[in-house]
């Protein structure tokens, strides 16, 4: 990267000039035209492990959506009826959603989601297209939404908020199908985790092997908006807390809230937002403030029941869009959702009355898109179970904020920790089971500005653990679900001014150079009953770009990524290297020995 280093020298040469005030990282549009446009559309992808069902032939596939998303902003979402395929009736041990998207022209990354009867089943974002076109394909196992997939004549809804005009020309052509699998064992003998189809008469199956989603839930209640602009709640501030009133069936055995959240606008890079004091004292006009701590929380009847520090997904226009081609950033095509076990609270939820479930984001600024699904498992042997909440231990969040700055230079540090524990028992026909849930997270966030605010370093580490244990009357542990996650993130952004006039003296307004490094990872260990998995997924990117306003005019970029996954069935490891939009290295192995 010879060019890269000369650019770095430039940075020192121009240090003394006035530069655009550093509010980077930012959101950009690729407008650079390649000198020799390739005639063929290019494939983009996100590294992920193949689904166990990829070995199998689906019994049938159903086209769910075939739609072009053009100027859809502020319009109702796309909606169409869904019924199970008549040619392969249930049960299906596995169901997979397949999304195929293509686009060409100029366009920002866009956020999208798919809902079944108001329950979100998939959140994704788009890659930024090129003149010659791009396309991609994503698969997601949606077996956990089986209770909805079995329904007849419900609506499947998709929102992809896009803007199309003279400048933004990219339309996203979307094709979504559901693949239904009848068999659960692959021809080569690979076993699968014991996910079975809902068996309405066998409550013992549900409780004898409790973890999360050992069987799909019996009932899904969405905690969502009215659907006029998509079913997500739009959170524009900390006080913008949305509510849904829910009545729980009196024979509920287990309840898990699945949370979906993404951040946009002035909170797209929330982990890099300085405190408001810095913005105010420097007379900056940016809306990207409120510091760098965000926590998505859930309350029931005003009582805290859980929260999540979400993985900081960098969308494909983020920081430097040249980093995210053809490999997109971690999570872009399949944003993670988060499971919060609410079973300990059933003691006060089974009274047949309505309960207010609220979702909000601490310190949020506009805007977050959040909604959730309540997954409910029922005792089919009875119409009523007994339940009691016995432990509610929720000390306040500990948060320390330090700031030290002089004009545009300085450093900001946030250290936060939360640990809570909840427990409750449910006595049903299957027995008396006590669920003990503990959740704990720590976050450290550090932001430093140097060289009159033109050089910015953001470092964040999130460590989170969630543990659900289910004990029988005898005291024996009968189920366990543990998730540990770590999200390290480093973003370095250096803003370098460029000569504002060319050799003929005509103005080149607002041109500058951004030199950026991004390094981030999503590391996750899970235990679910007797099933375990470990994932290490890291990306390191570096490069520069010449920018006018929000348009990328030229640049150079490389991204290296290692994706390492193993579970008790095998290993999968893929390492890739992309340089200037081309894949120049790609090694895959299924061998467990080499996946280090
Ligand atoms: C620092 O940046 C500010 C705002 O961009 C600018 O007004 C000021 O002149 C700069 N100071 C130096 C020493 O370059
Ligand atoms: C599906 O959507 C249509 C149009 O938005 C609406 O009229 C209808 O009531 C919906 N059906 C269900 C089952 O929600
Ligand atoms: C911000 O504006 C106020 C009022 O115009 C001025 O007194 C102050 O010096 C400015 N601060 C900076 C850092 O430019
Ligand atoms: C269920 O188990 C818990 C813990 O062992 C116990 O305190 C509670 O009394 C039991 N409930 C019933 C109805 O037996
Ligand atoms: C980015 O990382 C490279 C290699 O690790 C380093 O040489 C370079 O100085 C970094 N760039 C910035 C802007 O810090
Ligand atoms: C792929 O493997 C080859 C041979 O071991 C190695 O030279 C190359 O650097 C690897 N590529 C990546 C992206 O890891």
3-state SS of 227-251 is EECECCEEEEECCCCEEEEEECCCC
Model confidence pLDDT, tens digit, residues 330-351:
999 999 999 999 999 999 999 9
Give 267 Cα–ligand 3 centroid separation in angstroms. Answer: 26
284 lines ligand 1 (CB under 6 A): no
What is the reported pLDDT for 549?
84
Name the CA dihedral angle for 174, 180, 183, 187, rounded to a multiple of 10 degrees. -20
Mean pLDDT of the chain: 89
451 lines ligand 4 (CB under 6 A): no
Model confidence pLDDT, tens digit, residues 230-285:
999 999 999 999 999 999 999 999 999 999 999 999 999 999 999 999 999 999 99
8 A C-beta contact, residue 579 and residue 544: no
State which of 115, 116, 117, 155 you would mutate to test the pocket of ligand 2, scoring each by most atoms of that ligand within 8 A of its C-beta. Answer: 155
What is the reported pLDDT for 20?
46
The runs of H, that is alpha helices, within 84-173 are 146-149
| Sign, CA torsion 9/10/16/19 | negative
- As a whole-number percent, the residues of the chain with pLDDT over 70 amount to 88
At residue 34, φ and ψ (nearest 5 deg) are -70, 140
What is the reported pLDDT for 523?
98
pLDDT tier, 531 (very low <50, low <70, confident <90, very high otherwise): confident
8 A C-beta contact, residue 344 and residue 424: yes
State which of 8, 14, 520 you would mutate to test the pocket of ligand 5, scoring each by most atoms of that ligand within 8 A of its C-beta. Answer: 8
At residue 379, φ and ψ (nearest 5 deg) are -90, 105
Mean pLDDT calculated for residue range 76-105: 94
What is the reported pLDDT for 391?
97
Residues in the chain: 596
State which of 7, 517, 558 you would mutate to test the pocket of ligand 5, scoring each by most atoms of that ligand within 8 A of its C-beta. Answer: 517
Supply angle C-alpha 142, 144, 148, rounded to 5: 85
- From 594, 593, 589, select the one nearest 49 (Cα to Cα): 589
pLDDT tier, 208 (very low <50, low <70, confident <90, very high otherwise): very low
What is the reported pLDDT for 186?
45
Question: What's the CA gap between 405 and 411, in Å, rounded?
Answer: 6
- Please report, for the chain, the start and end positions of each structural domain, with discontinuous segments joined by +: 2-589
Residue 85 burial by CB count (10 A; 0-12/13-18/19+): exposed, middle or buried? middle
Residue linked to tokens 């991609």: 136
pLDDT tier, 33 (very low <50, low <70, confident <90, very high otherwise): low
Ligand 6: lining residues by beta carbon, under 6 Å: 575-577, 585, 587
Question: What's the CA gap between 543 and 558, in Å, rounded?
Answer: 6
Model confidence pLDDT, tens digit, residues 281-308:
999 999 999 999 999 999 999 999 999 9
What is the reported pLDDT for 455?
96
Give 298 Cα–ligand 6 centroid separation in angstroms. Answer: 45
Model confidence pLDDT, tens digit, residues 464-523:
999 999 999 998 888 889 999 999 999 999 999 887 665 665 555 678 999 999 999 999
435 lines ligand 4 (CB under 6 A): no
Cβ neighbors of 228 (< 8 A, separation 6 or more) are 76
Residue 210 has pLDDT above 90, yes or no: no
Q: Tell me the Ramachandran region of residue 504: left when phi exceeds 0, alpha when psi lies from -120 to 50, beta otherwise.
A: alpha
Give 563 Cα–ligand 6 centroid separation in angstroms. Answer: 14
Cβ neighbors of 181 (< 8 A, separation 6 or more) are 53, 56, 58, 59, 92, 93, 94, 95, 96
What is the reported pLDDT for 23?
55
Give 12 Cα–ligand 1 centroid separation in angstroms. Answer: 15
For residue 575, the ligand closest to its alpha carbon is 6
Give 437 Cα–ligand 4 centroid separation in angstroms. Answer: 17
Give 521 Cα–ligand 6 centroid separation in angstroms. Answer: 20
What is the reported pLDDT for 407?
95
């Amino acid at each position: 990267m010879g060019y890269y280093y000369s650019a770095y020298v430039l940075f020192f040469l121009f240090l003394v000039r006035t530069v655009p005030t550093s509010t980077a990282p930012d959101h950009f549009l690729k407008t650079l035209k390649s000198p020799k446009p390739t005639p063929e559309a290019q494939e983009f992808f996100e590294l992920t492990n193949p689904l166990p069902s990829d070995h199998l032939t689906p019994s049938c596939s159903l086209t769910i959506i075939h739609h072009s998303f053009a100027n859809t902003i502020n319009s109702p979402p796309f909606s169409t009826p869904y019924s199970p395929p008549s040619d392969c009736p249930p049960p299906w041990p596995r169901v997979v959603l397949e999304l195929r998207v293509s686009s060409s022209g100029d366009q920002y990354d866009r956020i999208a989601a798919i809902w079944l009867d108001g329950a979100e089943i998939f959140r994704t974002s788009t890659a930024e297209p090129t003149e010659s076109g791009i396309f991609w394909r994503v698969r997601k196992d949606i077996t956990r939404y089986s209770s909805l997939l079995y329904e007849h004549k419900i609506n499947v809804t998709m929102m992809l908020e896009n803007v199309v005009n003279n400048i933004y020309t990219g339309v996203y052509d979307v094709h979504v199908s559901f693949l239904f699998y009848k068999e659960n064992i692959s021809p080569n003998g690979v076993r699968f985790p014991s996910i079975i189809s809902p068996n309405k008469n066998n409550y013992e199956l549900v409780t004898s092997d409790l973890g999360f989603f050992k069987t799909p839930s019996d009932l899904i209640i969405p905690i969502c908006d009215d659907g006029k602009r998509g079913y997500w709640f739009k959170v524009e501030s900390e006080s913008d807390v949305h509510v849904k009133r829910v009545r729980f069936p009196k024979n509920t055995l287990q309840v898990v809230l699945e949370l979906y959240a993404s951040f946009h606008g002035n909170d797209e890079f929330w982990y890099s937002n300085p405190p408001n004091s810095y913005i105010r004292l420097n007379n900056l006009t940016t809306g990207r403030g409120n510091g760098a701590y965000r926590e998505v929380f859930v309350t029931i009847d005003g009582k805290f029941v859980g929260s999540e520090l979400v993985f900081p997904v960098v969308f494909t226009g983020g920081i430097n869009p040249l980093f995210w081609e053809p490999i997109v950033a971690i999570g872009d095509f399949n944003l993670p959702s988060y499971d919060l076990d609410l079973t300990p609270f059933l003691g006060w939820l089974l009274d047949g009355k309505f309960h207010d479930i609220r979702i909000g984001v601490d310190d949020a600024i506009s805007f977050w898109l959040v909604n959730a699904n309540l997954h409910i498992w029922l005792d089919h042997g009875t119409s009523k179970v007994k339940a009691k909440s016995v432990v509610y231990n929720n000390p306040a969040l500990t948060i320390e904020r330090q700031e030290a700055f002089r004009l545009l230079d300085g450093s900001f540090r946030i250290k936060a920790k939360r640990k809570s524990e909840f427990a409750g028992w449910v006595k049903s026909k299957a027995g008396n089971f006590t669920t003990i849930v503990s959740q704990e997270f720590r976050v450290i966030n550090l932001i430093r500005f140097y060289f009159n605010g033109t050089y910015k370093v953001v470092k964040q580490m999130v460590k989170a653990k969630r543990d659900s244990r289910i004990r029988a009357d005898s005291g024996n542990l009968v189920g366990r679900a543990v998730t540990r996650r770590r999200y390290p993130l480093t973003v370095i952004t250096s803003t370098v001014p460029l000569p504002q006039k060319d050799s003929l003296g005509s103005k080149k307004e607002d041109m500058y150079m951004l030199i950026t490094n991004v390094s981030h990872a999503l590391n996750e260990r899970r235990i679910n009953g007797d099933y375990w998995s470990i994932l290490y997924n890291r990306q390191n990117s570096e490069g520069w770009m010449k920018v006018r306003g929000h348009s990328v005019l030229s640049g150079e970029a490389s991204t290296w990524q290692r994706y390492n996954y193993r579970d008790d069935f095998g290993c999968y490891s893929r390492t890739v290297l992309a340089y200037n939009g081309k894949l120049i290295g790609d090694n895959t192995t299924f061998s467990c020995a080499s996946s280090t």
